[in-house]
């Protein structure tokens, strides 16, 4: 899933298989996600979409985000701050996030050793992993104190 076209195809297929309707609203929302920063929250996306398509409601945006997350087109993140964040899911390996507490910038990183250790830890506790998240909060290059 690297581009809008592929994502749209995925959406179409999922909808067809589940007797759901392919609507212009769902298409527009998907398209606007691709026009939007890589990490965003529902409200900002809604405002953005609303500015171009004033008939699309907040509920529809929330519903579409839930759907796209379920399908696997986007991923809902829990980065703190009391607001759900979303990112496009690009079929890349699992990654985690560095978050600047000053400017909110999000940096992604991948670390295979950490991934493996998590698996080991879960097993040691008899736990079957469904999902995991690692957030490192700090001050980025531009905002760290000297």
Position among 25, 31, 69, 96 found at the interface with DNA (CB under 7 A): 25
**Mask: binding to its own copies, 56-95, rule CB under 8 A, as x and -?**
----------------------x-x---------------
State how beta strands 85-88 and 39-41 pair. antiparallel
| Residues contacting residue 20 through CB under 8 Å, at least 6 positions apart | 14
Size of the site for its own copies (CB under 8 A): 33
Rank residues 55 and 145 by Cβ distance to DNA and give the closer one: 55
Q: Which is nearer to its own copies, 8 or 134 (CB)?
A: 134
- Evaluated on CA atoms 86, 34, 106, 127, the torsion sign reads positive
Q: Is 127 in the site for its own copies (CB under 8 A)?
A: yes
CA distance 122 to 137: 23
Beta-strand pair 39-41/106-109: unpaired
Torsional class of 134: left (φ above 0), alpha (ψ -120 to 50), beta (otherwise): beta
Provide the token pair at 3: 């581009």
Binding mask 42-81 for DNA (x = CB under 7 A): xx-----------xxxxxx-xxx-x---------------
| Site string (26-45) toward DNA, x via CB under 7 A | x--------------xxx--
């Amino acid at each position: 899933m690297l581009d809008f076209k592929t994502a749209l195809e995925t959406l179409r297929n999922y909808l067809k298989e589940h007797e759901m309707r392919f609507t212009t609203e769902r298409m527009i929302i998907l398209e606007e996600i691709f026009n939007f920063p890589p990490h965003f929250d529902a409200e900002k996306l809604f405002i953005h979409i609303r500015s171009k398509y004033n008939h699309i409601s907040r509920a529809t945006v929330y519903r579409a985000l839930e759907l796209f997350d379920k399908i696997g087109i986007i991923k809902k993140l829990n980065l703190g701050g009391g607001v759900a964040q979303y990112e496009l899911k690009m079929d890349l390996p699992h990654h985690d996030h560095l978050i600047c507490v000053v400017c909110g910038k999000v940096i992604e990183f991948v670390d295979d050793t950490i991934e493996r250790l998590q698996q080991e830890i879960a097993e040691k506790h008899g736990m079957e992993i469904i999902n995991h998240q690692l957030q490192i909060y700090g001050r980025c290059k531009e905002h760290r104190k000297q």
